[in-house]
Structure 1
């Protein structure tokens, strides 16, 4: 009880700077009055336990004490609240550190797997996050620096926040540096991959160019031959051009063969529903035959001596008239070969094989063995003077329906295309 009374008296003293003194005493003495238990200390009492009347000075002191109590409570609540905020920031910082460590481990395990889609965007986002944390910590420091009573900000808490902020800034800068490095690596790898792709494409292009040159290594597009050295059912050439409907035609070519018996089938044209629309064949011991719509005419030609020979066949639907030329000389004519039958369009021209179905089902016994060049076709009957000029190498006339050019002929099964200047080679054979 005495201690409480002394404390109260000290508070009064600190509040007003005045105390009651005993009257008539020589020196200053404090007057102490005992207060019974349960008595309200805010109200002074006399020796008979009666409440004394309060002066304005005492009322002011009492109000000051109340304000100090409220201030102390407010400070306590503020400090508790700020401590909770600090704990929350510490928790978030710990999670950030754990996340950074886990990403670092995952990146070491598989660098390419964790590369960000856009490192620049990630760097920018981290910068914004760091600035936001700086602002929040700055606000927190400002709030704690000036509390309700204007008291000072605790130095320990200030130092802790500064250290945390410095650590966080360092971690974010480290992460930014890592992302910049990953961005550089990703760019380098992308550039290297692009360079490898370009080199591969360049090599392919060069190879294609070489192949095109090797396939077109002829002085002119028509200076080549198709070689069919074996009697098989898989060596053949194919003309890429399609025939229109025709009421007459002329077919000319150069042939070289010594096969026996019979040279086989230099060419055949088949259409849906009729595999023997046009066929030139020498099979077994039979003479060379011309088939039109599966109708047959025997031709007085002989080309199996192993030398180059120029062959031309003409036909017209009018009366089914035909003519056969060898080396510029007309050796035979005839009529009634599929008269009034138009040649059907939409078929396939095969060099070296007779077709049992359109474009296929070849018979090895009917295959052409030898070399063939300058296969041309017209949709009209050529004049004898034109045929003679081509056979004598005094002129060259490409067919208006099927011209003999490299791009129009493809070979299969081991057949080859080789360079050939037919007239020079024929003169050499002669």
Structure 2
């Protein structure tokens, strides 16, 4: 019995370390490459942690239909992989490492309760840096001189350095802050203790201001939409009452932002950018890439050009920023993998959403308040990522790391939910 407990404790510790490592790698990957170690070294550490978790669960991988879509997902990535064809491997290796975590998460689930707070703790330096660099531009200049050596994209050659803060691109900074905002929203929503709720609320307010300062309209829009969706999922009863509260909260937030903008006028930039949506150069550039991707899809509609095919197709001769992707995951998957790959992709996404919805209902029905935070955090991140897929490169860049962590949390809970409910009931009886 003691040996079994020891094995489970080691497994729990390893899963926490693995999730923490991936979160650090996700938030600060470019800085890590400059200051600490290369991608190859980090991926070796990552793979080693995954292997150790398998050893901790006695070299057993749970047999479940939930894993099937992700096995096909890996096959889709490897089939006619254009990164391999061009002598490279790093991005493919990274994505496969992400997906592999799904297969090692099912042995035990007590670790999942730590993840929402870990997302906040590891990502909050991005919020702090954004606010600090707004106040102290000279500190930003020192940071740049000692790290990147050049101003990041989106900062207009350092004029708005706070937009990118610690990240290599202002869009990446907005993504990292969005994850913190979403996790804090769930922590605030589910917290019952007043002091803790106030603490989460203060952090949430600061993080929302930081998100506004990045001037990224898509991130703001999708954060709001994801939060509203999860708010209704969390409280399915009395929807009319909840809608009224939501409207009141929206009015209070709008009033608060109006006051804050008097002291921090830079947050108005994001709202000004909404006025140019559809006509600015960023949007027009996306239209060019989407049309190009559709043309590639027509050339091979069944299987596509192969994973990463869009980026190696010559599009960069037309749009240099296409190197990072099509800026619409759904269209790029069609281009890369054709109808067959697109179906695999959609099945994987829907399967993850399905078990997440089941988890939320299970937590509500069984009054598992301590785990409700976990499943709602998973849901809000998945909702954000699936919406952001329409304008970003979620399934190809580091945003995928956050998405897969959300999936892993959901899968782990789902496969152990009956045991979780039993243990929670035992605790109630004991008390």
TM range (shorter): under 0.3
Larger radius of gyration: 1
What TM-score, normalized to structure 1? 0.19
Higher strand share: 1
- Higher RCO by CA contacts (8 Å cutoff, separation 6 or greater): 2
What TM-score, normalized to structure 2? 0.19
Higher helix share: 2
